[in-house]
Amino acid sequence: MGRSQLEKQKTHERIVTLAAKRLREEGLEGIGVADLMKEAGLTVGGFYKHFASRDELVAEAVGSAIGSWRRQQEEKGIVAESVSLDEYVDAYLSEGHRDHCGEGCAYAALTADMARSGDAVRSVATDGLRRNFEAMTARMSRPETAEARRKAIIASCLMTGALGLARVANDEALSTEILETVKQFVKELPQAE
């Protein structure tokens, strides 16, 4: 790959990463192309060298946001699948995750927005759900069973909802109670028979 192509790729990745963060902070309709490109230090005209449309950028940014946790683990030298259920739940349902929406779970930040989106975003989100459910199933006891998959889906939905509701609450004690209550419940799921 030539230098100009490499630079274009790096710029493209920078725009997508920035958009993924901003979309999680402000919603899918919360940021325009002009503001995003300005924040990236680029011109609006430069946007069309990278994307055919805003919708294309949004779909790619949502995909990037959905895969961000796995990439963060890999950058630390951690195989995402090796993270235990307890470790995963502790990190996901933490005050730090609650307080940093722009770096966190795209589903907790954007569920309603993604549900109202077009097919491109919903397809990316659906693929991410499948991967997330598979990863969560692998963290359950007897992961080869249908019961493990059922518990994985329940756990994933509980955690996403709890994180979103903890962000909604403007009462710190209630917000923390939501996180801690669901954290304890999800950790007990694999043992429940």
d(CA 180, CA 104): 18
| d(C-alpha 62, C-alpha 28), whole Å | 9
Average per-residue pLDDT for the chain = 94
pLDDT at 193 over 60: no
Tens digit of each residue's pLDDT (9 = 90 or more) over 18-50: 999 999 999 999 889 999 999 999 999 989 999
* Band of residue 51 on the pLDDT scale cut at 50, 70, 90: very high
The pLDDT-based confidence of 81 (bands split at 50, 70, 90) is confident
For 54-70, what is each residue's pLDDT tens digit? Answer: 999 999 999 999 999 99
Of the pLDDT bands very low, low, confident and very high (cuts 50, 70, 90), residue 190 is: confident
- pLDDT at residue 174 greater than cutoff 80: yes
Number of helical H runs and strand E runs in the chain: 11, 0
Q: In angstroms, rounded to a whole number, what is the distance separating the alpha carbons of residues 181 and 20?
A: 29
- Residues 98-155 have pLDDT tens digits of 999 999 999 999 999 999 999 999 999 999 999 999 999 999 999 999 999 999 999 9
pLDDT band (50, 70, 90) for residue 177: very high
- Domain spans of the chain, in order of start: 1-189
For the range 156-161, what are the long-range contacts, defined as Cβ-Cβ under 8 Å and sequence gap of 24 or more?
156/132, 158/182, 158/185, 158/186, 159/89, 159/92, 159/93, 159/186, 160/105, 160/107, 160/108, 160/111
Is a pLDDT exceeding 60 seen at residue 94?
yes
What pLDDT, on a 0 to 100 scale, did the predictor assign at position 60? 96
Could you please state the CATH topology (level 3) that the domain comprising 1-189 is classified under. Tetracycline Repressor; domain 2 (1.10.357)
- pLDDT recorded at residue 4: 85
Token output for 140 = 């359950």
Whole-number pLDDT of residue 1:
61
pTM of the model: 0.90
Mean pLDDT for 81-96 is 95
